[in-house]
Structure 1
Amino acid sequence: MVAFATSIEEEDFFGHRAWRLVSPDGPSALVAERGATLLSWQPSETHEVIDGYIDGDELDAHFDARCLIMAPWCGRIASGKFSFDGASHTVSSPEIAGLGGLTAELEFTRVPAGDALRLTSRLDASDAYPWDLEISVIFSLEGGVSGFEHLSLTIDATNVSESRAPVSIGWHPYLKMPSMDGISNLSLSIPARAKVLTDNRLIPLTGDAAFAGIASPARHDYLGSEKIDQSFTQLVPNEDGVVVTSVTNPARGTQILLTQEPSEAPVVHVFTADNLPRNSRKSIALEPCSAIPDAFNRADQASRIPLESGETRSLTATLSYRPSK
């Protein structure tokens, strides 16, 4: 009997419950319930694209924020402090402020969703963030034209508080090119007209000084030793209305693409994984985000932050892999 739908089976990941998705033609993904964290995506049996956690200790410590679901904020918050609707709030530690949200230690639960994996959890109000959110993360596998395989993710954050709440969301996957030991020989293309300038804390500069115009697309034909840890905005959609950031192995034509909706995620952050405790510069993070870092403290992001009671903020992103042209 031939299977035509993605199968989803429970697995143990060093004491953590995880779920294995396997599509009919072979690609698979592994997602831990802790933090709704993508641990692996294999578009084919011999190709691993995700530079994820290798054991339960790394997952528990959420080192390097690998594949972190970023909510209720994405990116850093300056000094761990922000104001909203006239009240000041202090995040409990600068470390949390730098991680991009509070989801890493949440335990998610699977909810049936056909051949997609849907994980849900609740972020309860705390001193760091005094609002309640319901968070849903959906993973799905799809084949495609032109030899691409796809992994899609949707994040939904619903405000279940009685008052409006500040919310920005994003995703932090580390991507490695199969058959390559590092990123130096890769090329990178970012369809953006502006980059975000930051201080030495990686906090965007104040006001208009934070934005510098660039020619679109921003091309890096050879990454070499170039270090990037920067947000890009004023994204340029293609003819299909979506924004596609690409990483390519020029020697073979192998590609990894990140596709995002500009209305949901007008920012892509790129990080060349420099100085990590493990696998420094072995992978590259392409991060779709609903706002720039420190958005809770910026007037130019104010329209993107409030989420009324009962409303949902969503972000959908797709990773695509093609082994060769």
Structure 2
Amino acid sequence: MNVTAVERQDFFGMPAWRVSSPSGATALVAERGATVLSWQPRPGDEVIDGYVSGEELDGHIGNRSLIMAPWCGRVAGGAYSFGGRSHRLPGGAELSGLGGRVTGLDFARVGTGDPLVLKGSLQGDDGYPWDLEITVIVALEAGSDEQENLSVTIDVRNDSDAPAPVTLGWHPYVRMPGLAGISNLSLAIPARMKILTDSRIIPLPGDAAFAGVKAPVRHDYIGSLRMDQAYTHLVPDEDGVVVTELRDPARGSRVLLTQEPSEAPVVHVFTGDGLPRAERQSIALEPCSALSDAFNRADAKARLALEPGRTRSLTATLSYIA
């Protein structure tokens, strides 16, 4: 087979799509939430720590591979103001809004061939009264030196007749093939600022949220380190992109997260502490277009509004190098 194949597949009674590349790499993506369930850059080498049952996917337990739209992260108190009007999200709590409203949305495939394109329509409600069309594109590509890439693009179009507040993100849990847990891994984040938060993981007000750090932020041995930390003022490499590196020092294998700083000026890292299953077996590397609680931050207002008919995009690429 010399072309990428996309085939319908069942995931515990829920519709999904299997993407298979000529190199042997595969990905499995559920229509529910356009959720990446698996990515094996080589047969048997799993990088995505995804859902393992239909119950987990249906309940989005742990927010694994969550498409975060139309907001990323938390919304303080579950309430915000935009365009001179106040809104309250259903449930009215920070965690009710973690990652937006895509978790329960059933997408449908559009077109044929490669890449996999899934499209869904998000209808406005009292908490978020704007209609959006959300497209998620999943592609596999082989690079040089046996590098394999999984790219996820999120496109959100405002189908309302008024500007809508929109921020985007992706929440994949990444594991290193052949290694149990994250303790023996190293991590490098090319950032000059970390985000300071309160006990709810809501960024502190104004400039108090930003603390300078030496770039890159390096953890040569994650060990028992607990992280639920966002970084910004990201430093591009010579290609103009931001690359966060997770590495197995003993074997030399690497997983890279690449993001465009203009689309995603924030990366959040979470070591999986407290997950109801597979705690600290993987690490969430999350590219985001804004800080958590951006809907309530004056310093984010200029980047929030998406005009009617316009589209906002975020592309993130995971790369595995054995």
Same fold flag (TM > 0.5)? yes
Instruction: Count residues with an aligned counterpart.
Output: 321
Secondary structure of the corresponding residue to residue 296 of structure 1: helix
Tell whether 2:3 aligns with 1:15.
no
**What are the Cα deviations for residues 50-108 of structure 1, in whole angstroms up to 9, with x where unaligned?**
10000100000000100000000000000100000110000111265442100000000
State the partner residue of 1:255. 254
Secondary structure of the corresponding residue to residue 53 of structure 1: coil
State the partner residue of 1:189. 188
Q: Aligned Cα RMSD in Å?
A: 0.8
Does the aligned pair in 2 maintain the 1:96–1:102 contact within 8 Å? no
Query: Which one of the candidate residues 26, 29, 47 is aligned to 1:28?
Result: 26
Secondary structure of the corresponding residue to residue 146 of structure 1: coil
Does the aligned pair in 1 maintain the 2:6–2:113 contact within 8 Å? no
Secondary structure of the corresponding residue to residue 145 of structure 1: coil
**What are the Cα deviations for residues 139-197 of structure 1, in whole angstroms up to 9, with x where unaligned?**
00000012210000100000000000000000000001111110000000000000000
State the partner residue of 1:42. 40
Structure 2 unaligned spans of 5+: none
Does the aligned pair in 2 maintain the 1:78–1:97 contact within 8 Å? no
State the partner residue of 1:5. 3
Residues 31-180 of structure 1: pairs in structure 2 closer than 5 A: 31-93=29-91, 94=93, 97-112=96-111, 114-180=113-179
Quick one: which amino acid aligns to residue 80 of structure 1?
A: G
Structure 1 unaligned spans of 5+: none
Tell whether 2:310 aligns with 1:314.
no
State the partner residue of 1:239. 238
2-structure distance, mates of 1:205, 1:96: 17
Does the aligned pair in 1 maintain the 2:109–2:119 contact within 8 Å? yes
Secondary structure of the corresponding residue to residue 201 of structure 1: coil
Quick one: which amino acid aligns to residue 219 of structure 1?
A: R
Sequence identity (%): 62
2-structure distance, mates of 1:151, 1:189: 20
**What are the Cα deviations for residues 218-274 of structure 1, in whole angstroms up to 9, with x where unaligned?**
000000000010110000000000000000000011100000000000000000000
Quick one: which amino acid aligns to residue 306 of structure 1?
A: A
Does the aligned pair in 2 maintain the 1:120–1:135 contact within 8 Å? yes
Secondary structure of the corresponding residue to residue 188 of structure 1: strand
2-structure distance, mates of 1:285, 1:147: 24
2-structure distance, mates of 1:221, 1:196: 21
State the partner residue of 1:218. 217
Secondary structure of the corresponding residue to residue 312 of structure 2: strand
Shift of 1:114: 3.3
Change over 3 Å in CA distance of 1:295–1:227 after alignment to 2: same
Does the aligned pair in 2 maintain the 1:36–1:119 contact within 8 Å? yes
Does the aligned pair in 2 maintain the 1:79–1:97 contact within 8 Å? no
Quick one: which amino acid aligns to residue 63 of structure 2?
A: A
2-structure distance, mates of 1:125, 1:98: 15
Secondary structure of the corresponding residue to residue 208 of structure 1: helix
**What are the Cα deviations for residues 122-142 of structure 1, in whole angstroms up to 9, with x where unaligned?**
000111210000000000000
Runs of 4+ in 1 over 6 A off after TM superposition: none
2-structure distance, mates of 1:265, 1:9: 31
Does the aligned pair in 1 maintain the 2:76–2:94 contact within 8 Å? no
Secondary structure of the corresponding residue to residue 205 of structure 1: coil
Shift of 1:34: 0.2
1-structure distance, mates of 2:278, 2:66: 17
2-structure distance, mates of 1:15, 1:287: 28
Secondary structure of the corresponding residue to residue 309 of structure 2: coil
Secondary structure of the corresponding residue to residue 145 of structure 2: helix
1-structure distance, mates of 2:71, 2:159: 16
Secondary structure of the corresponding residue to residue 208 of structure 2: helix
Does the aligned pair in 2 maintain the 1:255–1:322 contact within 8 Å? yes
2-structure distance, mates of 1:157, 1:96: 22
